Amino acid sequence: MPGRPPHSATGGFVTGTAGDQSIAGRFGPRILAWADELAAWSESPDGLTCTYLSDAHRAVAGRLCALMQKAGLTAVIDAVGNVVGRREGTSPGARTLILGSHYDTVRKAGKYDGRFGILAAIAAMDDLHERGQQLPFAVEVIGFAEEEGARFPTAYLGSSAVAGKFDSAVLAKQDAAGTTLEEALRAAGFDPAAIAGLARPPGNLLGYVELHIEQGPVLRNEGLPVGVVDAIAGATRFEVAISGRGGHAGTVPMAKRRDAVAVAAEIILLVERRCSTAAGLVGTVGQVLVPDSAVNAIPGRCELSLDIRAAEDGLRDAAIADIKAEIERIATRRKVGIEVHDMLQTPAVRCAPRLQSALAASVAHCGVPVRRLVSGAGHDAVMFDGITDVGMLFVRCGNDGISHSADETISAEDADLAARVLLDFLTNFTTSAAF
């Protein structure tokens, strides 16, 4: 329905919505200013680091709660640290649309990964609040407390709780200081036993929609400010531990060596080679650790991470099978031990056609060509797959799409447009083809 006028729930025209250029520029500067403000709370003085339940993390939660309240939302911080702002619909007992993303960060992060989606949703809800515009459905804006896995060796803690997928076994996981997740929650004043009660009944949900920076160069390369996500790549992560034999760098002949780092190098090249064979398949060894290493010693042990992703589960699974089989052959040929441990597996997620169509219509209504694309990164949205319909809108990044870095940027103009697309989506949701 490109070009349709925005409608109210009662069928009349709504003034001041996304298609009206009089509101252009209202949201972008505000969203970027909020992001700057939140970035002032950091665990490190030389970059933005905000990991789960740190002092900086809890300060950000408090500020998000205040912003939601100012936007007319009833806001609370729940038992896992999510910041939840709710606005009821005009109909009693109306179902709920969730708008969300995460507010934790990786180490030395950018300002917009995760947080942009929360702030854009707050800006849109604030506009509805200022104009007294009601929606026939309830809306929850959720700042998920943890998605990145930067402190504890797990991810999606906030969204998994809301989606009813929280695994209580993760409470025993430890951070680098040996603090368990359960201990960290209790120290922050939360009751781990209450997390199970955060799950939203699927029958009460209309869907989940997430705005996020693209974290890649596609939109920038094509000169487009926003894009509609049609799928989120599935991801599988492993820990690989190689046990060779240490020795003196000067006395062990090359043919007799069982060098763990040389084996790791062969595995890294194997991953690069295999994951270059198909479009949409990517593989990364992002961490390599050589315990007790020395410049004059043959490494006896090496540990590395392995991350393989694709938008098609079959494509990813075939690559994993080939890589594991070749790792076994490498271990036999080089006479080393190699253990491969599963860390994380999330399936590929297809965004709901009805939400894709509704978002695409709002993009077109704002005068922008509709571009559909795949997300290679995982997002909180994956936790809602199978619980409710999922939709995502990407906004263009600057700096060649760099993310997870202080060089991560977006423009005020693109932030503004994305918020206007969201506002158009919200005000037209019940009259669109989504129902």
What tens digit of pLDDT does each residue of 255-309 get? 999 999 999 999 999 999 999 999 989 999 999 999 999 999 999 999 999 999 9
Measured distance CA(395)–CA(379) in Å, rounded = 14
Helical segments of 94-235, H only:
115-131, 157-162, 181-187, 218-222
Q: Among 98, 79, 192, which Cα is nearest to 145's?
A: 79
pLDDT digits (tens, 9 = 90+) for 241-267: 999 999 999 999 999 999 999 999 999
First to last CA, the chain: 13
pLDDT band at residue 22, thresholds of 50, 70 and 90?
Answer: low
**What are the CA-CA distances from residue 421 to residues 17, 62, 225, 370 (Å)?**
9, 27, 11, 12
pLDDT digits (tens, 9 = 90+) for 370-400: 999 999 998 999 999 999 999 999 999 999 9
Q: What phi, psi does 302 have (nearest 5°)?
A: -145, 140
Residue with tokens 């098609």: 312
Residue with tokens 């977006």: 410
pLDDT digits (tens, 9 = 90+) for 121-176: 999 999 999 999 999 999 999 999 999 999 998 999 999 999 999 999 999 999 99
Kind plus residue range of the DSSP H or E element containing 193? none
Helical segments of 20-71, H only:
28-39, 55-70
Q: Are the beta carbons of 137 and 97 closer than 8 angstroms? A: yes
At residue 29, the pLDDT reads 97
Domains along the sequence of the chain with CATH: 21-231+348-431 (3.40.630.10), 234-346 (3.30.70.360)
- Using a 10 angstrom Cβ sphere, with 0-12 exposed, 13-18 middle and 19 or more buried, the burial of residue 175 is middle
Q: What phi, psi does 326 have (nearest 5°)?
A: -70, -35
Residue with tokens 């390369």: 221
**What are the CA-CA distances from residue 341 to residues 27, 204, 232, 239 (Å)?**
45, 38, 24, 5
Q: Which residues contact residue 73 at a Cβ distance below 8 angstroms, ignoring those fewer than 6 apart?
A: 85, 86, 87, 122, 125, 129, 141
Measured distance CA(77)–CA(99) in Å, rounded = 16
Measured distance CA(21)–CA(33) in Å, rounded = 22
Full-model pTM: 0.86
Q: Are the beta carbons of 85 and 77 closer than 8 angstroms? A: no
Measured distance CA(207)–CA(202) in Å, rounded = 9
Tokens of 152: 């504890």
Residue with tokens 């939140």: 38
For residues 2 and 51, the model is more confident at 51
Measured distance CA(310)–CA(326) in Å, rounded = 20
Helical segments of 195-348, H only:
218-222, 260-274, 313-334
